[in-house]
Amino acid sequence: MTPMLSTLVDEPFDEKGWIFEIKWDGYRAFAKKNGSLQLISRGKKSFNKKFPTLVAELEKLRGQFILDGEIVILDKTGKSNFQMLQNYYKKKVGIPYFYAFDILSLNRKDLRSLPLLERKKILKRVISGMKHVRYSQHILTRGKAFFKAAEKKGLEGIIAKKADSTYQFARTRNWLKIKTKNRQEVVIGGFTEPKGSRKRFGALLIGVYKRGKLEYVGHVGGGFNEALLEDVYAELKKVTASVCPFKTTPKPNTPVTWVKPKLVCEVEFTEWTSDGKLRHPIFKGMRYDKPAKKVVRE
C-alpha cells in the first residue's frame, strides 16, 4: 500500500464539489486489521511498538479494515503539535490520537472506487464511540474562510479534496494541500562542529533528492534546545560516514562530519532562493515515518 498524496498549491479557494479538512501535523499511517492490528507508516515501518495505546484501541473496532489517517499529539488548545509528538516517540510523554480521514476497505470489500464522501460516511460509522481514534471532520465549499481560520489558530494548513474522488495509490490533484507556513522535509547529509557554548553540533547540512542525486539546499542551526541537540546527535552518531553524500560538496565555515543519507527531518523556512537554497530554515523535528529516497522539493 502507498498512501494517496496531495499536491502543494499556493492559494485556498472556494468551489462546489470540494471538501476541506485540517492538515494534521503528525505521522501519516495506515491502520490495517486482518486478524492482528498493524499500524504502518507511509515508509512501510511498523508503529505498533511506538504507539501501543492506539493499537489496543484500534483492535477493539469490529471487522477487518484498512484506515488512512494521521497520528498526532494535541496541545492544551487542541492543536496538533509535532514537537510534542517527537517527545512521545522517544519518551512516551503525552497522549497520541489517530485522526482517521479515509477508509480503503471493510470486511475485505474494496472501497477505493467509491466517492470520497461515501467512504467518509462509512468511516465515521466504523470508528464511532472511540476515545483516541477520531474522525477527521470536514467542511464543504468554503476553503478560503477555512484557511483563514487555520491561520488564526496557528495550524500547519488545510487539505482540499474532490468530494467524488476515488482513492489512488499516488500523488494526484484530487487532493491539494495549502500551507499556512512554508515547510519542507529534508535529508540530513552532515553536521558541523559547534561553536562557543553550543554542544554536540552547530548545524545540519540538508538536501533533497533530484533525479536520484542528493542536492544540497542549505544548513539549519535554529530550532534546537539542549535536549533536542542531544537526541538528534545520538541519531547522527549511528550513521556517520567518510564521504560526502551530496552531489556537490558544500563548503561551510566549520569542519563537517558526513553522515549516510538515511535521516529525514522537517524544517520551516521563509522562501526558496533563486539558486535553490532554503532561506532561514528552522528545525521542526525528525521524520521517522518518511523514507529518505522519497524526499524531493515540493
Mean pLDDT, residues 70-88: 91
- pLDDT above 90 (res 288): no
Mean residue pLDDT of the chain comes to 95
Q: Is the pLDDT of residue 298 over 90?
A: no
- With a pLDDT cut of 90, the percent of the chain lying above it is 86
pLDDT at res. 83: 87
User: Is a pLDDT exceeding 80 seen at residue 197?
Assistant: yes
| Residue 23 annotated in active site | yes
List 23, 120, 177, 290, catalytic entry: 23
The pLDDT of residue 271 is above 80 = yes
Quick count: other Cβ atoms within 10 Å of Cβ 99?
20
pLDDT on residue 89: 84
Alpha carbon distances (Å) from 133 to 21, 70, 110: 17, 10, 22
The H or E element containing residue 221 is: none
Mind listing the pLDDT tens digit for each residue in 19-77? 999 999 999 999 999 989 999 998 889 999 999 999 999 999 999 999 999 999 999 98
In the chain, the domains with their CATH numbers are: 5-179 (3.30.470.30), 182-294 (2.40.50.140)
39 to 30, 50, 53, 122: CA distances (angstroms): 6, 10, 11, 20
Express each pLDDT in 105-150 by its tens digit: 999 999 999 999 999 999 999 999 999 999 999 999 999 999 999 9
Write the pLDDT tens digit of every residue in 144-159: 999 999 999 989 999 9
The pLDDT of residue 167 is above 80:
yes
Exposure class string for 35-70: b at 16+ Cβ within 10 A, else e: eebbbbbbbebebeebbeebbebbeebeeebbbbbb
What span, in angstroms and rounded, lies between the C-alpha atoms of 20 and 251? 44
Q: Rounded to two decimals, what is the model's pTM?
A: 0.84
pLDDT tops 80 at residue 1? no
Does residue 224 register a pLDDT over 90? Answer: yes
Cβ contacts of 250 within 8 Å, gap of 6 or more: 190, 205, 216, 219, 244, 256
